[in-house]
Amino acid sequence: MAEFTLELNDDQKQVRDWLHGFAADVIRPAASEWDEREETPWPVIQEAAKVGIYSLDFYAQQFFDPTGLGIPMALEELFWGDAGIALSIVGTGLAAVGVLANGTEEQIGTWIPQMYGDVDDVKVAAFCSSEPDAGSDVASMRTRAVYDQAKDEWVLNGTKTWATNGGIAGVHVVVAVVDAELGSKGHASFIVPPNTPGLSQGQKFKKHGIRASHTAEVVLEDVRVPGHCLLGGKEKLDQRLARARESAASGGERVKNAAMATFEASRPAVGAMAVGTARAAYEVALDYAKTRTQFGRPIIDNQGVAFQLADMRTQIDAARLLVWRASWMATTGKPFTSAEGSMSKLYASETAKKVTAQAVQILGGNGFTREYPVERMHRDAAIYTIFEGTSEIQRLVIARTLSGMPIR
C-alpha cells in the first residue's frame, strides 16, 4: 500500500509539467475563441490526441497511480488551461469509465477504442444519465429499456439532458430503468452504437460557462440495441436485480452503502477541476495586482487587495488537500466515514466560485471585460457547484453520513 505523502514523485512531476506545458501552449491560446464560438474545439482535441493526452491509455496510467494523485493532478493542470476546452478533452472519459466499471472484457475492448477514434479521425463519446425530471433525484428516471427476447434486443425510449457530447458522440452510454419497482437500483447501462436509428440530438444548450464543451439533450425513440450492448450482460443484470430485491426486503443498507462509496470516490475529480480554475484566476489576479499601479504604487501594496489574495491562495491550497486526501483514500480503499469525497467536491467547487469572483473584483473594470480571462473563468466556475451533485446535495450527503440520520 502506498504511503500518504504530499510530495509528488519524479514521474508525477514530469507528467504534471508536460500537461502544464500543453495547457499553456495549446489550450489557453484557443480558450477565448472557442468560448465565443460555443462549439466543440475539434482541432484542440486532435492536438491532444497527437501527443497522447486524449487517449484511454493516458487516463488509465493516471487512474492506476498507486498514490491516487494521478487523476486530480492531471485534471487540475488541464482545467488551469481552460475549463470548457478541458471538459471537451476529458468528457469522453465519463462514458469510458461507465464501460470500464460495468462492462465485460469484450465490451471494453470493442467500444472504448471507438469512443476515442484515432489521431486522424478523433471521436467523442457521451454518458447519458440526467433527465429533465431526474437530476439529483435519480430514482425519478423515466427512460425505459425493455427486453425483446425474440430478437435479443433492448428497446430504449426516453429523453436525456445535460449530456456532455450528447448527439455529436459516436458512442453513447445510456442509463435506463429496467425495473421501476427497485428505484435507482433497477437501472442498467447500455451502449448505443454509432448511427443507431432512433437516437437524435435534442436541444443544444447555450450555457453561461464551459461554452467550448457541447451539452445537449439526447432523444431516444424506439432505439433498438443488440443484447450484447447491455453492459455486463443479461445474466449479471438478472443476478444484480435479484440481490437488489432481496436487499430491499431487508432494508437495503448494503446496496445503498455501495452506491454511496462509488459516488464518494468520483467526486474528488470534479474538485480537482475546480481547483485548476481557481488557481488560474488567482494567478491572473496576483500578476495584475503586482503590476497595476494606482496612487503611485502597485495595488497589492494595499491590505484590502493583499489580504484577498492571501485568502484566495489559502482556500485553493486547502481545497487541493481535501481533493488529494479523498483521492488517496479512494485508491487505497480507505472508507469514507465522513463523506470525505463529498467534502472535497463541496469545498473545492465553492472555492472556485469565490476565488474567481474575487479575481474579477481585483481587476476592477478590466475584470468585467472579455479582454481578461477572469471573466470567463468566473462564468466557468459556476458549474462546479451544480454538476455531478449540487453543493446542497453534497451538504446533505455529509450531514447524513455524520449524523446517521435520514435528513431531508
Cell 470516490 sits on residue:
265
Take residue 51 and report the three cell numbers written for it: 501527443
Are the beta carbons of 184 and 254 closer than 8 angstroms?
no
> Residue 355: in which H helix or E strand, if any?
helix 340-363
E-only strand ranges, 67-119 = 117-118
Please indicate whether residue 388 is annotated as part of the active site.
Answer: yes
DSSP code string of 266-331: HHHHHHHHHHHHHHHHHHHHHHHHHH-EETTEEGGGSHHHHHHHHHHHHHHHHHHHHHHHHHHHHH
Please choose, from the candidates 89, 184, 168, the residue with its C-alpha nearest in 3D space to the C-alpha of residue 131. 184
Residue 182: count other Cβ atoms within 10 Å of its Cβ.
19
Distance CA 169, CA 182 (A): 30
CB of 115 closer than 8 Å to CB of 170: yes
Query: For residues 211 and 35, is the Cβ–Cβ distance under 8 A?
Result: yes
Q: What does DSSP assign to residue 247?
A: H
Q: Indicate which residue of 131, 217, 375, 388 is catalytic.
A: 388
DSSP 8-state secondary structure symbol assigned to residue 51: H
Phi, psi at residue 283, to the nearest 5°?
A: -65, -40
Residues taking part in catalysis? 388
